[in-house]
Each structure stands twice: as C-alpha cells, then as structure tokens.
C-alpha cells in the first residue's frame, strides 16, 4: 500500500499530521471522510502519480494517526476552518503554494472550506458525495432525519462515545479487507478502536451542526463563492440523488464554474471504483 510514497508526520502548528505523499507533477490534496483515514485513497493515489501528479494524502486532524486538538465548548477545534488551516500549512510545508483539492464525504466539507477561505491557494476543487452542510440542513426533512440520524445522534454529549466504544466493529459494520484492502482495513480498525480518535470524529459532527453551519451561512450572506473551477461527483449507489435530485442544482449558487457527474459505485468510491474516480480527477485536473 502506497509503495514509493513518503510516510511522515509534519507539525502544522496546532497538531501534527500523518501524511503520505509522492510524485513530481501538479499537486493534488486528497481528503478522506468518516470514519476513514488517508489510506482510503490507496488505490487512487498511485494511479494519479502514474498520470503525472504529485499526490498528498493526510489523515485529517483528529482522524487516524494525526494529532487530536484539545476540545473546546463550541467544538471549533474540529471545525472545517481549523482543519482546512492545517491542510493549507501542510501543503505549504511540502512546497505547494497552489494546489488542487479533492474531498470525499466529511473531507468534502473541508475541501469546500479550503476553497472559500484560501482562494489564492486552491486552483481546482472536487467534492465527492456531498453538498454544503448548510444546504443539507436547510433541506432536512423526515427522510433525511431517518436516514442520516447519525448526524444528530453524534451531536449529543457522551452517549455516542459510549455506544460506539461498547462494540466499534458492530457500530462501524463496514466492508472487509477484501473490499477495502488489507492495509486500509487495518488502519480503519485501529482508528475506530481508539477512543481519542472516535471522540475527535464525533467532534467533527458536533462542529458541523454549529460553527461550520454558521461559517457557511456567513459566506452566503457575504456573497462569497468558490472562485476556482469545481467538479462535483456522486456515487450512483449512494443516496445523493434520492435526497437532492440533481446535486449540481444544490451546488450552483456556490460555484460559478461548475460541472459534475455520477460514478457507478457505492459510497466509498475511492475503494470501490478507483479507475473511474482516477479518470474523472485526472480529466478535470489536466
């Protein structure tokens, strides 16, 4: 897994980040979702390097083997703005003043925040399987509350930690090593069995319902949009179209230069259909 990639820990100020990186071409930052680590990209990252890109795959603050910040009452330590700041400093430390960013699931919210907060650094934005948090909450109906109940359960104090900690493997009944890849699966299980990582991942959701939503709503009031070209991808066997119809319609107020299309996959597209995802990323970034 990640043959030929450097595997380092880099101090970005508030935390140290675990990061894998390789390549010599145009840089792209790949941001994982919940409850994965940077290892979720292990089938995509080498393909992008082979196509001539420099690829950076960190574990986000709080996730995997990256550092955990002290918890604040407003959960700002796990806000997408704080995580985006980490990743900007990471890319700068690796020598990349400008770069493309692609985020999946919770990582998509961080990718959006990077593009909004640091438009001079982010040259291209890709979001996979997600719409802005504020847009999801504004459309929250009985179906969303039923299917995405975990957003609201995870926001409660203490009880989610206790529920997950009682049997992490039962709670996160994910695919096995044959689908995920043995190394990726080991890192995933290491993460969900670490109480500090579980709490930090829950803090991601707690920030989402509060401070992250506030940041996005402030962007809309200010008329702030994504200035770089943006690509939205969604998995055909996920629920994006069931929830939102055309996901691009949700995204159009956020990005002037927008395109997108579905990919034949379940939710974890980087693991399930890496060829199609690599082709979509490379085509957009070239």
Per-residue pLDDT of the chain (286 residues; tens, 9 = 90+): 999 999 999 999 999 999 999 999 999 999 999 999 999 999 999 999 999 999 999 999 999 999 999 999 999 999 999 999 999 999 999 999 999 999 999 999 999 999 999 999 999 999 999 999 999 999 999 999 999 999 999 999 999 999 999 999 999 998 899 999 999 999 999 999 999 999 999 999 999 999 999 999 999 999 999 999 999 999 999 999 999 999 999 999 999 999 999 999 999 999 999 999 999 999 999 9
pTM above the 0.95 mark? Answer: yes
Q: Which among 102, 105, 65 has a CA at the least distance from the CA of 205?
A: 105
Q: Report d(CA 61, CA 82) in Å as an integer.
A: 9
Catalytic position from the list 34, 215, 267, 268: 267
Q: Report d(CA 218, CA 187) in Å as an integer.
A: 36
Query: How many secondary structure helices (H) and strands (E) does the chain include?
Result: 16, 8
Judged by phi (left if over 0) then psi (alpha if -120 to 50, else beta), residue 105 lies in left
Q: 171-200 pLDDT, tens per residue?
A: 999 889 999 999 999 999 999 999 999 999
Catalytic position from the list 59, 86, 105, 212: 105
Decide if 267 is catalytic: yes
Decide if 105 is catalytic: yes
Q: What is the pLDDT of residue 55?
A: 98
Q: Which CATH superfamily includes the segment(s) 6-285?
A: Alpha/Beta hydrolase fold, catalytic domain (3.40.50.1820)
Q: What is the pLDDT of residue 174?
A: 84
Q: Report d(CA 133, CA 216) in Å as an integer.
A: 8
């Amino acid at each position: 897994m990640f043959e030929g990639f450097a595997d380092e820990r880099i101090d970005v100020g508030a935390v140290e980040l675990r990061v894998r990186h390789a390549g010599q071409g145009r840089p792209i930052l790949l941001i994982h979702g919940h409850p994965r680590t940077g290892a979720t990209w292990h089938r995509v990252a080498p393909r992008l390097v082979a196509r001539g890109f420099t690829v950076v795959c960190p574990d986000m603050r709080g996730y995997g083997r990256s550092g955990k910040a002290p918890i604040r009452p407003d959960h700002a330590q796990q806000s997408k703005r704080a995580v985006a700041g980490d990743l900007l400093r990471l890319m700068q430390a690796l020598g990349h003043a400008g770069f493309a960013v692609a985020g999946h699931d919770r990582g998509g919210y961080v990718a959006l925040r990077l593009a909004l907060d640091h438009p001079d650094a982010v040259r291209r934005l890709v979001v996979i399987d997600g719409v802005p948090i504020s847009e999801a909450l504004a459309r929250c109906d009985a179906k969303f509350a039923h299917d995405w109940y975990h957003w609201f359960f995870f926001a409660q104090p203490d009880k989610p930690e206790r529920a997950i900690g009682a049997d992490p493997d039962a709670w996160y009944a994910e695919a096995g090593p044959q689908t995920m890849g043995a190394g990726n699966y080991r890192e995933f299980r290491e993460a969900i069995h670490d109480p500090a990582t579980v709490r930090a991942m829950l803090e991601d959701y707690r920030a989402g319902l509060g401070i992250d939503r506030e940041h996005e709503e402030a962007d809309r009031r200010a008329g702030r949009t994504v200035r770089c070209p943006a690509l939205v991808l969604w998995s055909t066997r996920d629920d994006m179209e069931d929830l939102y119809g055309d996901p691009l319609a949700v995204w159009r107020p956020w990005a002037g230069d927008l395109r997108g299309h579905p990919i034949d996959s379940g939710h974890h597209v980087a693991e399930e259909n890496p060829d199609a995802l690599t082709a979509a990323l490379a085509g957009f970034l070239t």
